[in-house]
Amino acid sequence: MLYVISQFAAEMFLQIFAVLSTWTMPIEMLTIVHTFVKLMCMSVNWLFVDMNSYFASVEQHDDPELRGRPVAIAPVMADNTSCLAASYEAKRFGIKTGTKLWEARQLCPEIRIVLARVKRYVQVHHQIVAAVHSIVPVDKTHSIDEMSCRLTTYQREINVATRLGHEIKAAIATQVGPFLKCSIGIAPNRYLAKVATDLQKPDGFTLLTLDDLPHRLIGLKLRDFPGIGARMELRLQRAGIFTVQQMYNCSESQLERVWGGIEGRRWFWKIRGHHIAEPETHRGSFGQSHVLPPDLRHDLGCKGILIKLIAKAARRLRMDNFWAKSLSIKVNGLAGPRWEKTVHLPPTQETSTFLEVFARMWEDRDQDTTANPIKVSMVLSDVSNQKSTPASLLPQDRKRNEATRLMDQINERFGRDMLYPAAMHETRHAAPARIAFNTIPDAREFDGSPKNFFTTQ
Ligand SMILES: [Mg+2]
């Protein structure tokens, strides 16, 4: 708020003194005021750290054999699966996140494909956060490879901010490892600091001030702005906006029309470096999907994995103290979704209740639809927290709740999956914790079981 006021005041001063300068203001006075105003405009407030080719860099950090080579990270060793990440050496061959493994092998026959080790990536993530934190306090971690820091008082001065950026790079290199490179963006607001990280990769450093706007961003594509995806790009194009320059030329109300609401106004100010409070996100669902490894691409494998995913999602639901009122299941074949179903139920967080509901859904399915599955997904949604969920008074519910809590405690103490539903027995080692790019998996997801697929190899 203060910042917005100061920016507004700065702009007002500029206007007023532009008029006064044609009048009788002593030139020294004008210069002093103008320098002051300029300094205010030139200060920066946010520093964003984005690790480059993060998963591949961790593998190269751990294994000297992989350094300087094209490396791709895969969730499972199946030709038809997509790369989770690619090293910069692999990117030169056109391999990127999402490239199918068979295609990656075609593009670069000598590529080294490494199975993802999520537990290790989480460990290194915490080391990186600590290294950054030793220079500037980390305000927020946005994903496993992104974090931002708020610059305060003297840190907002450009020379100081620049020095801090370089110190962060050095801290990561010495405290974690020199093969973990990052791009650093510094800007008047957090959003533009993130945009700035994309201007130079790998090992980049970009500082944007209000003076640099918008001309230093004009060369970007609309899709380079986080928040503009394929659908938003289409809406912008329908409104005649094809370039970043055209987007900057739009008025606040024009953007409001394109976005179809207040978000357009927020966008107008955001891309101009103003601090706009981010709306609070409410937890809406707990879900997971899993690409089946080739040996589980059948009816039973599909069922087993779904049971495991439901058990994991229900555990996360309990850890975060939420209750869910619906369970959705989806099974995909090669040609897309084959079976989809949602069932509503009274608010619950019990694994056993979800599994009973799932068993009934499974019984009712058309068996053809789950014969050649490739991917399964499940979501627990319509979630509410403790305050808005009345506790069940039925004795059998209370008993069930106590049993689940006890099971959670035992698993927490002696290792994940020490106790698990009998239905999960066949697939208990399959479907290891996967990584979503916008969340850092909870370390508890990985604790315990030495048979865990992702224990350090
Ligand atoms: Mg990154």
At 55 the pLDDT is 94
What is the 242 CA–ligand 1 centroid distance (Å)?
A: 26
Distance (angstroms) between ligand 1 centre and the Cα of 313 equals: 26
CA of 198 to the centre of ligand 1 (A): 9
Q: How far apart are CA 184 and CA 182, in angstroms?
A: 6
For domain 285-445, the CATH architecture is 2-Layer Sandwich (3.30)
Stated pTM of the model? 0.62
Q: What is the DSSP letter of 324?
A: E
Residue 23's pLDDT is what? 47
207 CA to centre of ligand 1 in angstroms: 18
Residue 146 Cα to ligand 1 midpoint, Å, equals 7
**If DSSP codes are grouped into helix, strand and coil, which group holds residue 436?**
coil
More confident residue, 57 or 322: 57
Angle formed at CA 161 by CA 156 and CA 165, multiple of 5 degrees: 145
Q: Indicate the pLDDT class of residue 355, thresholds 50, 70 and 90.
A: very high
- Ligand 1 centroid distance, CA of 50 (Å): 5
Give the residue-averaged pLDDT of 178-197. Answer: 95
Instruction: Please give the average per-residue pLDDT across 265-284, as a whole number.
Output: 79
- 452, pLDDT greater than 70: no
Distance 55 CA to ligand 1 centre (A): 9
What is the Å distance from ligand 1's center to 85 Cα?
10
Calculate how far, in angstroms, residue 124's C-alpha sits from the geometric centre of ligand 1. Answer: 14
Mean pLDDT of the chain: 82
Q: How confident is the model over 115-135, as pLDDT tens digits? A: 999 889 989 999 999 999 999
Q: Domains of the chain: which residue ranges? A: 2-42, 43-212, 214-272, 285-445
What distance in angstroms lies between residue 87's CA and the mean position of ligand 1's atoms?
Answer: 11
Dist. CA 108 → ligand 1 center (Å): 22
Compute the distance from residue 73 Cα to the ligand 1 centre, in Å.
14
Q: 433: CA distance to ligand 1 center in Å? A: 20
- Stated as kind and residue range, the H or E segment containing 182 is strand 182-187
Q: Which residue has the higher pLDDT, 106 or 401?
A: 106
Angle, helices 252-259/230-238, rounded to nearest 10 degrees: 120
Cα–Cα distance for residue pair 259/254, rounded to 1 Å = 9
Query: How many Å lie between the centroid of ligand 1 and the Cα of residue 181?
Result: 10
Identify which of 12-16, 20-24, 122-126, 321-325 has the greatest average pLDDT.
Answer: 122-126
Question: How far, in Å, from the CA of 182 to the mean position of ligand 1?
Answer: 8
Residues 34 and 1: their CA atoms lie apart, in Å, by: 23
Q: At what angle do helices 395-414 and 351-364 cross, to 10 degrees?
A: 100
Residue 422: per-residue pLDDT: 76
Give the number of residues written for the chain: 457
CA of 438 to the centre of ligand 1 (A): 11
Centre of ligand 1 to C-alpha 47, Å, is 15
356-383 per-position pLDDT tens digit: 999 999 998 888 887 888 889 999 988 8
Q: Which fold has domain 43-212?
A: Alpha-Beta Plaits (3.30.70)
Task: Tell how far CA 182 is from the center of its chain.
Answer: 16
Give me the residue label for tokens 């959705």.
328
Which has the higher per-residue pLDDT, 395 or 169? Answer: 169
Q: Give residue 77 CA to ligand 1 midpoint distance, Å.
A: 23
Q: What was the pLDDT predicted at 100? A: 92
Would the pLDDT of 79 be above 70? yes
| Helical H segments across 108-213, by residue range | 118-133, 158-175, 190-197
Å from CA of 51 to ligand 1 middle: 4
Ligand 1 centroid distance, CA of 373 (Å): 31
User: Is the model more confident about 337 or about 67?
Assistant: 67
Distance 184 CA to ligand 1 centre (A): 11
Q: How far is the CA of 61 from the centre of ligand 1 (A)?
A: 16
Strands (E), 30-158: 46-51, 71-74, 85-86, 112-115, 140-143, 146-150
Pick the residue with more confidence: 43 or 157? 157
CA 32 → CA 13, 17, 23, 39, 42, distances in Å?
12, 11, 17, 11, 15
Residue 10 pLDDT > 50, yes or no? yes
CA of residue 123 to ligand 1 center, whole Å: 16
The rounded percent of the chain whose pLDDT value lies above 90 is: 47
Q: What gap in Å lies between CA 114 and CA 275, rounded to an integer?
A: 41
* 11 Cα to the center of ligand 1, angstroms: 35
Of these ranges, 13-27, 231-245, 264-278, 331-345, the one predicted with the greatest mean pLDDT is 231-245
Q: How many angstroms separate the CA atoms of 180 and 124, rounded?
A: 10
Q: What is the DSSP letter of 100?
A: B
Structure tokens at 19: 């008029």
How many angstroms is it from 96 CA to the middle of ligand 1? 12
Residue 391 scores a pLDDT above 80? no
